[in-house]
Amino acid sequence: MASPTSDFNLKVGPKTNGSKHLLLGTEEIPPGGVIPKHKHHGEDEILLIQTGNGHVWLGDKEYDARPGALVFIPAGTWISLKNTGKENISLVFVWNEPGFEEMMRCASVPKGQIASPISREEVKECYQHGDGELEVVQAPSKTP
């Protein structure tokens, strides 16, 4: 779920408190930050936007999300979110079963730490490790 520039904090999960059925955490996404287009193969997800404004792509629909917005993401649905505002998006995320937190540990950094740059392919590998799939978009070729 997270872009390498976002901060996240896992509050409920197998490594946090032994939960076998839920994963819950918080995330901060800076202005211009993006949750890249991805999908979870086996997990439903809920996002609750607490602060900030963003644009959400969910399956074949898209809409603007403001504080208080709830986004339900069924398993297998492509999702992306971009912070379109001037302040951080603060959100809560919930998954119906643990697993995807391994991707977050791979591709994100805990709050207060500086993210080391990783390639798009490395991010894609993180998503596969967390039972998800990242859409890898090739950059347009430059014309001479």
Residue among 14, 35, 38, 36 nearest 24 (CA)? 14
- Give the type of residue at 26: T
Q: How many residues does the chain have?
A: 144
Rounded distance between C-alpha atoms, residue 6 and residue 127, angstroms: 16
State the amino acid at position 16 in one-letter form. Answer: T
7-134: CATH number: 2.60.120.10
- For residues 28 and 92, what is the distance between their CA atoms, to the nearest angstrom? 9
Q: What is the pLDDT of residue 139?
A: 42
Q: What is the pLDDT along the chain (144 residues), one digit of tens a residue?
A: 444 456 668 788 777 888 888 888 899 999 999 988 988 888 899 999 999 999 999 999 999 999 999 999 999 999 999 999 999 999 999 988 766 666 666 656 666 776 677 676 776 676 665 566 667 554 444 444
Structural domain spans, the chain: 7-134
Q: Which residues contact 39 (CB under 8 A, 6 or more apart)?
A: 75, 76, 77, 78, 79, 132, 133
DSSP H stretches of helix in the chain: 14-17, 101-107, 120-129
- Rounded distance, CA 65 to CA 53, Å? 6
Q: What is the pTM of this model?
A: 0.71
